[in-house]
Structure 1
């Protein structure tokens, strides 16, 4: 800890020295749009709502990256997983076996397993509505104002399951003028997309807005067994909202959204050959034989009411209901035969209600509130082991009732010093039911097999537990002037406990008791600066996290079955550094740099030993998954004013990630080496600002890189070590008309 403290102090003291470098300047946290005022070129101001109230990004004592819609459009950003390239110490990927399920890690903390009943480690919010399940959470970029990525525990204001951080998806509000936008995209692999969005006042007090997006693309590869496209995209999405503003003090919005993913099953690529089946030439091809229904649906409705009772007090209500269903087939062996096949469905619904009081006094500012959520998640799947003529049916459900009270306030001690204090109390009650049985044959009655009795009941239990936690946050900010902020903070994050929906009471008897919560105590010091007459910005942060009770999911072969563990494995230490910078090199050329470093080590890692029935400490064998030591990106944006002919914007970027492990136990055949991705975009905008035409090239080096995998070695499972890959080189042309 002493050596880390020295590193942190050195980093912050280096801020002045870094300011003299021509390209290392601040916030990759944002687009920071360029503007000209009084003959001087400056980087624009970014307003965020990280603390549930509007503030300048420079004033918030939290590590934030904020990306505006305009910035992402100029870069051709397709969905929120692209933020991985431009945010330090962030991993956001499409889950294994799915096209629209999100896997997220921030600063080494997250959750890879999207099974129902498991909680994410990074909270996802759409207009302050918490999205409890990762299915359908790979949100495409349309109809938004900005995206905010909050790094580090956000347990005080955002609650449970923001132990690694939070991602906020903020949509636009309706203004007083009608707007309409039509955007068409065509590109590699027969990509054809259409996005139509618009808003308009209906009366002086009522406005409506809506958006429809259709995304179609052939696969990057083929299923050589079925002949179907592989890694294709068939997604339809829409949003509709109505806003009511009878006076300056009252605002009401009712919004609904729906996303449907009809893409083909995403199987994987076998990394090892087996008898009669060599390794395929293309990493996007598969020989999976399992077929069946593949569909992901996610939808919801929300209501927001804001009422300003005085110049200093605003009351806010956020009410939301969401539900979703996923039907999927995952061929774990990726061969034509039924060696290790999984047909499955997931289903969930949630109701949430949040009440807030926002106070904006002369020196005291903050928010207090109450939160309630009632959620249900269920699902089932067959584990078909063809060589053993055995099917294991796993089914279950978990009900969650969550209650919380929170407050977070900032007091200006002097014009330069501010102190913030916050706390949240959360109580989660969970009831889990697990049913796991064996059937002879290659299907169960639930997934189309003949009705019959199971040959062995492995689990059949229902249990309830309540998890309570107090999550405080304190920070101290020193701001000698508007262009420099120095802060230090402490925060605690809490991720709820639960029950393993794969729990096998025969192999792991303790599974009926469930698993405990995770806790992270995080310490951070940082600075945010703006200099050279507003032409450059620089953000620095150093953090240390004490991580306890990590919930690690492990699945290993056990005879003719698969043993699942969800263990609170112990404790670990995480420390890291982050730098984000932007510089206006000239009036037409801006540069941005992002650097993230993280060192994460297990101090204790307890794993259940199937042979002895005891827990062994194997911390010296375990590593953090999905956590590269280094993340970095560098970008240049050049704008050329062509007068009446319009404006040309060129954007080039390189993003690097060092080597990382897919799971807690390294596997040379599966883990990903370091790699760098190169992107290039060119966008022409008409002088009238009505038309724009763009060309966007992604992964121009055509790098093949893994984003997920499965590991089931052994003859019974045909050595099923499987990789899933990020997109190859693609080129997309866009045409947009605004009126």
Structure 2
């Protein structure tokens, strides 16, 4: 099957782009004015959220729909930027692999990258599941629309959608020739070009091909390499062949390939916060001690908005992702049969600077990974007068291989050791951990959902899914000292020796975690049409996120051996309630939707971290209970072809209801540990030399990464104009988003609180049926804000971060032919 799919991808790449897509062209949620007249006249948005075509207002769930023209006009060309248009979507990324996609504060354990757990927000491109969240950082290519489905979607989308799903559909081949091209240029040397061509190869075969490139100078300047870093350097191609031998049968073969090769990624100095480490072993004192030996080190700036970095390790973020799919749609008269066969790959080649400084503490950090995944889905859809249903089978197989190297540098002893050992760089210099690991994952599911139209107004919609998962992994860490000799840390070496110091940084390990689990999930939705254009619904869902295994090493027992009891992590158990009301009025010129939700999760898969460079770098554990609840609203008005406006808002209260063994924030870390039998004492945060709790009770505290208040808004007005004998529209538009403050650490810390902000964008231009020319400015008021804060390892109090994009501006030309 793999060779068959590869051959198909090669053929498709020579002929076309886009995975198979059944949906008709859709009007943008907030930009219908850009769409075809026939679609704009109906005011309807066609979605496939329930695996069949229907209007967004008919779907009894909370859904945000963003069309292609809104994506292009607002510059939101990947999921990282899409969150500006969907208030409850949160995306955080320090590099492609370290990317978290959350909805309503739920989805991915914050601050941990591990192959051994599932994400809680599923990303689907033309019905194909992308298991690696790294797919989220690639540019949208020839996209028709993006649906953000909020709340558990486990019945139809699977185990990986406890928080929601992102359903991306691309443009399909056409039997009428069409082409589109787009070119954009802006400051920071921003350049972007896209092209798509579609048309018939015969009366039964159509093809489509698309390509896009994006480049931009980095937003940070590295004073050591004298280069701009955190660049954009993206390339993507997509090809599709559509074979339609009859009106009842269509076969679509698709292939895509995307590549990123930027100079990046790194951070800047943001602040220093006091920890419980002895004062002479915190950041400022350590820098002073290093300089006392003839160094002259100083961070290039303590103002993060100077955008200066002094990273001294190599940086690389080579990222490739792609695959092929074969989709068959067959109308058998009494229903529609669909088969989707897919293979995808991911190749990640990183180099990082994990100490976040210009000192050589960690001189090398790289964990390249390669992934293959195969999936097969069969679905049967039936639509009747009183009963609609979909049933299906899903199979998935995945393997991920990772080869890691992390090495200590000349300044590591000063940073990590104490006493006389701190002054001996030879103890840690060259200490190297070489990691070899793999993960094998297999899933199978049987699912179904029905809709019983009790009356013309009342519909009851139950759904079920039976899922089986098996995961097996391998992790081996071999540690060598600066002379290249392999070290052994079992039994535990005598305290105070050089070997004990080395084992305190990198601990050799060998583990083979393995587990399997059956899970049953279900939901029921009751919806009622109160009147034309008014739909109310209530949903209960019992869902799960499958078991996890710890792939990055395990914590140690008192005997200094891996704690095998931490090898596996229990599945999350999700209970979700939601009420919603969808309304359209004023002859469909206005839409107002509102939803209220409450999601409770038992055995929440959370991050636990020992705070050191390597010994207990990070692993998963189960928090007892997490809860997210809130209210979301969407309002859209389009009184005429000359004006449209929208505003969406969300209030989200997401917190740990019970998490008694959480990692402590930096202000309660770094000191000598309190006695194991002692009641944890949290009364001396940030007091150097104070005793540190072994773990912290953060019950009642807010989940990281989620703002309590968020909103997006926009408007556009146009006038008919004739310019150079071309009849068209002159238009002016604006859009923006707001986020209240939020915390950027797995255990909320006073040092990682990120202030709220408002970003505002404007555009103005002239368009006709054949072309569109406009200028744009994003972050028009040059708001200074932080995308992400990170706690540097070692409990030295250093906080590094990623400042958000400054004001950018440019111009775009789009043409149809």
TM-score for both structures, normalised by structure 1? 0.89
Q: Residue 33 of structure 1 contacts residue 44 of structure 1 at CA under 8 Å; is this kept in 2? A: no
Cα gap change, 1:384 to 1:556, in 2 (>3 Å): farther
Q: In the alignment, is the contact (CA less than 8 A) between 1:440 and 1:455 conserved in 2?
A: no
Equivalent pair of 1:489/1:524 in contact (CA under 8 Å):
yes
Q: Who is 1:316 aligned against?
A: 338
Residue 570 (str. 1) matches residue 611 (str. 2): no
Between Structure 1 and Structure 2, whose CA radius of gyration is higher? 2
2:753 alignment partner in structure 1 = 671
- Alpha-carbon shift at residue 87 of structure 1 (Å): 1.4
Deviation at 1:709, TM superposition (A): 3.0
Tell me whether 342-351 or 205-214 shows the greater mean CA deviation. 342-351
Q: For 1:262-281, list aligned pairs within 5 A.
A: 262-272=261-271, 274=284, 275=287, 276-278=297-299, 279-281=301-303
TM-superposition CA deviations, 1:223-274 (whole Å, max 9, x none): 1111122121111111011010010000111101111100012110122364
User: 1:29 and 1:540 mapped to 2: Cα distance?
Assistant: 15
Q: Secondary structure at the match of 1:141?
A: coil
Tell me, in whole angstroms, the C-alpha distance in 2 between the residues paired with 1:258 and 1:551.
32
* 1:152 Cα deviation from its structure 2 partner: 0.4
Task: Give the structure 1 partner of residue 23 of structure 2.
Answer: none
Partner residue in 1 for 2:223: 224
From 399, 408, 415, the counterpart of 2:449:
408
1:537 and 2:591 correspond: yes
Q: Look up the SS of the partner of 1:277 in the other structure.
A: coil
Partners of 1:128 and 1:383 in 2: CA distance: 38
Pairing 1:430–2:480 present: no
Q: Which runs of 5+ in 2 are unaligned?
A: 1-26, 273-283, 288-296, 414-427, 490-506, 664-672, 678-693
Question: Per-residue deviation at 1:43?
Answer: 6.9
Question: Residue 459 of structure 1 contacts residue 506 of structure 1 at CA under 8 Å; is this kept in 2?
Answer: no
365-374 or 213-222, larger mean C-alpha shift: 213-222
1:628 matched residue in structure 2: 707
Q: Deviations over 1:629-677 (max 9, x none)?
A: 0111221111222154311232211210000111232223322111100
Q: Helix, strand or coil: the match of 1:85?
A: coil
Number of the residue aligned with 1:731: 809
Structure 2 match to 1:375: 398
- 2:33/2:40 contact within 8 Å kept: no
Mean CA deviation greater in 403-412 or 505-514? 505-514
Alpha-carbon distance between aligned partners in 1 of 2:155 and 2:405, rounded to the nearest angstrom? 40
* Shift in CA distance, 380/670, structure 1 to aligned 2, threshold 3 Å: farther
8 Å Cα contact 1:198-1:210 kept in structure 2: yes
| CA shift for structure 1 position 679 | 0.7
Do the aligned partners of 1:400 and 1:428 also contact (CA within 8 Å) in 2?
yes
1:694 CA displacement: 1.7
User: 1:83: which partner in 2?
Assistant: 82
Instruction: Answer whether contact 2:341 2:376 (CA < 8 A) is retained.
Output: yes
Stretch deviating more after TM superposition (197-206 or 69-78): 69-78
Residues 1:234 and 2:313 are matched in the alignment = no
Does 2:472 align with 1:472? no
1:692 maps to which of 772, 776, 779: 772
Normalized per residue, the structure richer in strand is: 1
Question: Are 2:452 and 1:453 equivalent residues in the alignment?
Answer: no
Q: Cα distance 1:611–1:314, how it changes in 2: closer, same or farther (>3 A)?
A: farther
**Aligned equivalent of 1:125:** 124
Once the two structures are superposed, what CA deviation does each residue of 1:162-216 show, in whole Å capped at 9, x if it has no partner?
1110001101112221111221111010112221111111101101111111111
1:560–1:173: structure 2 CA closer, same or farther, 3 Å change rule?
closer
Q: Tell me the number of residue pairs that the alignment of Structure 1 and Structure 2 aligns.
A: 697
CA distance in 2, matches of 1:371, 1:156: 11
Contact 1:150 1:166 in 2 (8 A): yes
CA 1:33–1:587: 2 relative to 1, 3 Å: closer
Closer, same or farther in 2 for the Cα pair 1:41/1:720, shift >3 Å? closer
CA distance in 2, matches of 1:36, 1:144: 16
Shift of 1:79: 1.8
Partner of 2:407: 384
Q: Report the CA distance between 1:137 and its aligned residue.
A: 2.5
Greater CA deviation, 277-286 or 244-253?
Answer: 277-286
Aligned partners of 2:400, 2:627: CA distance in 1, in Å?
A: 32
Q: SS of the residue aligned with 1:645?
A: strand
* 2:351 is aligned with 1:342: no
1:295 to 303, 307, 318: 318
Structure 1 CA distance, aligned partners of 2:545 and 2:64? 23
CA distance in 2, matches of 1:556, 1:228: 34
Q: Tell me which residue corresponds to 1:13.
A: none
Q: CA RMSD in A?
A: 2.5
Alignment of 1:709-724 (within 5 A): 709-712=789-792, 714=794, 719-724=797-802
1:376 & 1:454 partners in 2: Cα distance?
Answer: 30
Per-residue CA deviations over 1:491-548 (Å, capped at 9, x if unaligned) read 1332122212222352561455311111221100001001122221100000011111
Deviation at 1:558, TM superposition (A): 4.2
Distance 1:330 1:560, change over 3 A: closer
- The residue aligned with 1:21 is none
- Structure 1 residue 710 displacement after superposition: 2.2
Q: Give unmatched runs, 5+ long, in structure 1.
A: 1-26, 442-449
3-state SS in 2 of match to 1:216: strand
* Residue deviations 1:26-82 (CA, integer Å, cap 9, x gap): x995544588999x9967100101111111111111100011112222323222222
Is residue 31–residue 66 contact of structure 1 (8 Å, CA) maintained in 2? no
Task: Name the SS for the 2:313 alignment partner.
Answer: coil
Q: Does 1:648 align with 2:730?
A: yes
Q: Compared with structure 1, are the counterparts of its residues 509 and 58 closer, same or farther at alpha carbon in structure 2 (3 Å cutoff)? A: same
Which residue matches 1:355?
378
Deviation for aligned residue 1:587:
4.5
Name the CA distance, whole Å, in 1 between partners of 2:614 and 2:113: 24
- Is the contact made by 1:436 and 1:502 (CA closer than 8 Å) also made in structure 2? no
From the superposition, tell whether residues 298 and 173 of structure 1 become closer, same or farther in structure 2 (CA, over 3 Å): same
Q: 1:108 aligns with which of 101, 105, 111?
A: 105
> In terms of mean alpha carbon deviation, does 64-73 or 250-259 score higher?
64-73
Q: Report the Cα offset of residue 416 of structure 1.
A: 0.6
Matching of residue 187 in structure 1 with residue 186 in structure 2: yes
User: Aligned partners of 1:691, 1:122: CA distance in 2, in Å?
Assistant: 36
Secondary structure in 1 matching 2:57:
helix
In structure 2, the residue matched to 1:439 is 480
CA spacing shift, 1:588–1:618, aligned 2, 3 Å: same
Please tell me whether residue 705 in structure 1 is matched to residue 772 in structure 2: no
Measured at CA, do residues 705 and 380 of structure 1 come closer, stay the same or move farther in structure 2, by a change above 3 Å? farther
Assess, with a 3 A threshold, how the Cα gap between structure 1 residues 122 and 607 changes in structure 2: closer, same or farther.
same
> How far is the alpha carbon of 1:337 from its aligned partner?
2.9
Taking structure 1 as reference, are residues 336 and 255 closer, same or farther at Cα in structure 2, changes over 3 Å only?
Answer: same
User: Is the 1:91–1:105 contact (alpha carbons within 8 Å) kept by the matching residues of 2?
Assistant: yes
SS in 1 for 2:82: helix
Which stretch shifts more, 403-412 or 284-293?
284-293
How far did 1:411 drift?
A: 1.2
Answer yes or no: is 1:330 the counterpart of 2:352.
yes
- Distance 1:378-1:621 versus aligned 2 partners, 3 A rule: farther
SS in 1 for 2:660: strand
CA distance change for structure 1 residues 597 and 627 in 2, over 3 Å: closer, same or farther? same
Tell me if 1:513 matches 2:567.
yes
Task: Give the drift of 1:332.
Answer: 2.2
Moved more, 432-441 or 176-185: 432-441
SS at match of 1:135: helix
Q: For 1:435 and 1:646, locate their aligned partners in 2 and report how far apart those are by CA, in whole Å.
A: 64
Matched, 1:580 2:634: yes
Q: Please, what TM-score do these two structures have when normalized by structure 2?
A: 0.81
Query: In the alignment, which residue of structure 2 is the partner of 1:659?
Result: 741
Kindly tell me: are residues 676 and 259 of structure 1, through their superposed partners in 2, closer, same or farther at Cα, counting changes over 3 Å? Answer: same
User: Could you tell me which of 765, 777, 801 is aligned with 1:683?
Assistant: 765
CA distance in 1, matches of 2:676, 2:174: 64
CA separation of 1:458 and 1:635: change in aligned 2, threshold 3 A: same
